[in-house]
A = this chain, B = another copy of it.
Amino acid sequence: MSTRRDAILRASATAIAERGIRGLRVTDVADAAGVSAGLLYYHFRDRIGLLEAALNHINDRAREYRSEGEALTDSARDRLLRSLLGEIQDRPDVVENSLAWNELRASAVYEEALRGPLARTTAAWVSEIADAVSQAQLAGEVAGTIDPHRAAVTMTALVEGLSGRWLCREISTDDARSLVLGAVETVMPSELRRHP
């Protein structure tokens, strides 16, 4: 990825997280990234093109911190848990990502053109979590009776719902993480623990 394209995407995520998307002007993003509006249009065609690329950038960045700190000794179920808990952390990059995602989700209700890109990015996230569930099932750590896709949709929707409250400072980081952990323990109890 060219560094300029990357700078534009970083500036977009920051602008969305800070001020929301509804007043977002392409020229402000270009200014923040230190490029001309022409270059921005060259890379992304239009505002929706920019927002779709920003969504992918946000998901790529989330993928990085979701897997951060993984150890070879982690079980498949540990990796699944880490991946879900990675979305709620007291770290500026995680908070910025969560703010931008939250705003894009809320805006897609009013801006139909955003729905396709958002649905594709959400499907990619759900698919990653479903894969993690399947891996944990193959390792015998999660019951084979669980539907990985349904579990993944439920868990990611719960993370989105809790994130909305967390970003409003209605619940603390610890409480939000504890609720995600509790939900995973309930929906996908460790088979290893139950049959030691």
Contacts and interface: CB of A to CB of B under 8 A. Distances in A.
Interface stretch (A51-59, A66-74, A105-113, A131-139): A105-113
Interface in A102-128: 102-103, 105-110, 115, 118-119, 122
A119 B19 CA distance: 21
Contact of A179 (B22, B119, B154): B154
B158 A154 contact: yes
Interface stretch (A4-12, A37-45, A78-86, A168-176): A168-176
A109 B115 contact: no
Query: How many chain copies?
Result: 2
A162 B164 contact: no
Most buried by B among A20, A23, A161, A170: A161
A186 interface: yes
A112 to B, nearest CB: 9
Interface in A141-196: 150, 153-154, 156-162, 164-165, 167-171, 179, 182-183, 186-187
Contacts of A102: 106, 109
B103 A168 contact: no
A106 B182 contact: no
A176 to B, nearest CB: 9
Contact of A169 (B19, B20, B115): B115
Most buried by B among A157, A160, A167: A157
29 contacts: A20-B22, A20-B110, A22-B22, A99-B109, A102-B106, A105-B165, A105-B168, A106-B106, A106-B164, A108-B168, A109-B167, A109-B168, A115-B169, A115-B170, A118-B170, A119-B168, A122-B170, A150-B182, A154-B158, A156-B161, A157-B158, A158-B161, A159-B161, A160-B160, A160-B165, A161-B161, A161-B162, A186-B186, A187-B187
